[in-house]
Amino acid sequence: MLDLTRALTFRREANFIDGQWVGASGSRTMEVTNPATGDIIGTIPVAGKAETEAAIAAAHKAFPAWAGLLAQERATKLNAMAQLIRDNVEALAELLTLEQGKPLAEARGEVLSGAAYVQWFAEEARRVYGDVIPSPFPGRRLLVTKEPVGVVGAITPWNFPFSMLARKVGAALAAGCTVVAKPSEFTPYSGLAWGVLAEKAGIPAGVVNIVTGDAPAIGEAMTGSDVVRKITFTGSTRVGKLLAEASARTMKRFSMELGGNAPFIVFDDADLDAAVEGAMMAKYRNSGQTCICTNRFYVQQGIYEAFAAKLAEKVKTLKVGSGFEAGSLQGPLINDAALAKVETLVGDATAKGGKVVAGGKLHALGGTFYEPTLITGGRQDMRIAREEVFGPVAVLFPFETEAQAIEMANATEFGLAAYFYSKDLARAFRVSAALKYGMVGINAGIITTEVAPFGGVKDSGVGREGSKYGLDDYLDVKYLSIGGL
Ligand code: NAP
């Protein structure tokens, strides 16, 4: 029997507004389920326009004092928050696995990555430097300073419900902004946990506010508000575009971390074992439900058979089961819609000649557990060549020349992450320059770290999270022209 005592110390079935835990008006609630069992694990308020406006008002009220603190004072509070996360890693990881389904080891990794982002931004808070520009006018000094943009609306998805908020809350608070956050209805507790962390770390009331519920109503209240000066969103391209359009009405800043369709190219000269290892990490983490997951493997003819055989062998060893089960490496998909999408795309690929060499169907555990799958003989007219599968399905597409691989890799409206394996240094520079992506893993299947800029181009979004660039997205540049000197 699963002991959830520790996890439930962080579960809040209320919204966090102005430092108070409150329900929605009319006490409207919705249920949250465990994707591994279908069991209800609690309820959350169905907040809408009124609750979001109250949260925005609280963030607005809290802004001057928070922005007015010394950078060091904000950093001290953020460091306390990072330490609290590390001190409670087990509880937070269990809560995450409970509502999201990923294996506990991956959940622990996500929580610790959240702590790393917060600590990184605490350190960066002290390095928000300006500039002195050599003046073209006599008797003048030209200065550039940076100021927090103001109240930030943050909307996050269900696949990394803890760390996606860490990147946003950490950066916003470090810059001196206050936040109204909306986690996904599927994984709200890992988002609401940020309210508990804010309370425990002594972050003043109103600096962090969290609402759950009616996504379109909350989004409209955020985008329609004059007070909210920035929207930061991670999720689908469809919703990102809606929010960007709506934000234009009040000319807000926005950062959009959207969908991906990552190619993974294996050249004949690649280290085969390293490429297989990298492929496993880039594809099957979180059961394939990450935005930088490889969707398409392009494998050169000379190495194709060997790569396919080795990868199939590895894929068959992946243990599927509840995230709480020891040794489980593949949890359930988030919900029935996700399962239906995977089944449809696999059906389309096999109908167009793809050959299933591992998995290929619903797992014997039932529910939304899907077998880790490998399909060979991919073709560019398959839907999976263009659409994000968001499941544990890899498709191998053969190619002959470097130019062909680059053309196929770039043949998508997305541009988030790309990967390739090759031992040829000149090719490494050539191919990385030719790939139209925001991030490129070269002989590396895992690329995310708080110290590097995460983000995409084209339909994968705008803006960067993490690194020194991540803070700029929360700062306005102000130019001072000082005369009479
Ligand atoms: P989604 O449907 O776009 O949802 C993301 C968030 O937006 C959720 O909190 C959702 O709320 C909310 N939302 C939905 N409709 C909205 C609306 N009209 N107005 C305001 N908010 C709205 O995406 P998802 O299915 O959760 O996440 C998967 C997608 O996210 C994939 O495409 C993946 O590639 C992308 N992703 C990108 C990154 C990145 O960094 N680039 C990282 C992770 C995921 P509810 O869930 O409560 O409906």
Digit-coded pLDDT (tens) for 69-112: 999 999 999 999 999 999 999 999 999 999 999 999 999 999 99
Q: Identify the residues whose C-beta falls under 6 Å from ligand 1.
A: 155-160, 182, 184-186, 215-216, 219, 234-236, 239, 242-243, 257-260, 291, 388, 416, 456, 461
Ligand 1 mean position, distance from CA 220 (Å): 15
Instruction: Tell which one of 239, 242, 285 to mutate to probe ligand 1, the residue whose CB is within 8 A of the most ligand atoms.
Output: 239
Q: What is the pLDDT averaged over residues 185-194?
A: 98
Q: Which tens digits make up the pLDDT trace of 409-427?
A: 999 999 999 999 999 999 9
Ligand 1 mean position, distance from CA 234 (Å): 6
Q: Is the pLDDT of residue 139 over 90?
A: yes
Alpha-carbon distance 240 to 232, whole Å? 9
Ligand 1 mean position, distance from CA 244 (Å): 13
Atom of ligand 1 nearest to the CA of 188: 47
In whole angstroms, how large is the CA radius of gyration of the chain?
23
| Mean pLDDT value across the chain | 97
Q: Is the pLDDT of residue 254 over 90?
A: yes
Instruction: Tell which one of 49, 165, 189, 236 to mutate to probe ligand 1, the residue whose CB is within 8 A of the most ligand atoms.
Output: 236
Query: Coil, strand or helix: which one is 112?
Result: helix
Q: What is the DSSP letter of 391?
A: S
Q: How many CA atoms lie within 13 A of 427 on its CB side?
A: 18
* 298 and 275 Cβ atoms separated by less than 8 Å: no
**Whose CA is closest to 187, among 393, 340, 335?**
335
* 52 and 180 Cβ atoms separated by less than 8 Å: yes
Residue recorded with tokens 């001196």: 176
| Percent above pLDDT 90 for the chain | 99
Atom of ligand 1 nearest to the CA of 219: 20
Strands in 373-376's sheet, in edge-to-edge order, are 355-358, 373-376, 393-399, 294-300, 262-266, 417-421, 439-442
- What pLDDT does 1 receive? 74
* 122 and 82 Cβ atoms separated by less than 8 Å: yes
Alpha-carbon distance 393 to 288, whole Å? 7
Q: Which tens digits make up the pLDDT trace of 199-221?
A: 999 999 999 999 999 999 999 99
Residue recorded with tokens 């077998």: 371
Q: What is the pLDDT averaged over residues 345-357?
A: 98
- What pLDDT does 240 receive? 98
Ligand 1, atom 20: closest residue by C-alpha: 219
Q: How many CA atoms lie within 13 A of 12 on its CB side?
A: 22
Q: Full-prediction pTM beyond 0.95?
A: yes
Alpha-carbon distance 163 to 450, whole Å? 10
What's the burial of 25, exposed, middle or buried (CB within 10 Å: 0-12/13-18/19+)? middle
- What pLDDT does 2 receive? 84
- At position 316, the amino acid (one-letter code) is K
Q: How confident is the model at residue 246 (pLDDT cuts 50, 70, 90)?
A: very high
Alpha-carbon distance 85 to 165, whole Å? 13
Catalytic residues: 257, 291
Atom of ligand 1 nearest to the CA of 260: 34
Ligand 1 mean position, distance from CA 183 (Å): 9
Ligand 1, atom 40: closest residue by C-alpha: 257
Q: Which tens digits make up the pLDDT trace of 286-333?
A: 999 999 999 899 999 999 999 999 999 999 999 999 999 999 999 999
Ligand 1 mean position, distance from CA 238 (Å): 9
Instruction: Tell which one of 155, 238, 412 to mutate to probe ligand 1, the residue whose CB is within 8 A of the most ligand atoms.
Output: 155
Ligand 1 mean position, distance from CA 367 (Å): 23
Q: How confident is the model at residue 407 (pLDDT cuts 50, 70, 90)?
A: very high
- What pLDDT does 43 receive? 98
Alpha-carbon distance 319 to 120, whole Å? 34
Q: Is the pLDDT of residue 451 over 90?
A: yes
| Percent above pLDDT 70 for the chain | 100
Those residues whose C-beta lies under 8 Å from the C-beta of residue 26, and which sit 6 or more positions away, are none
Q: What is the pLDDT averaged over residues 52-76?
A: 98
H helix runs in 354-456, sequence order? 402-410, 425-434
Secondary structure (DSSP) of 315-342 = HTTPPBS-TTSTT--B---SSHHHHHHH
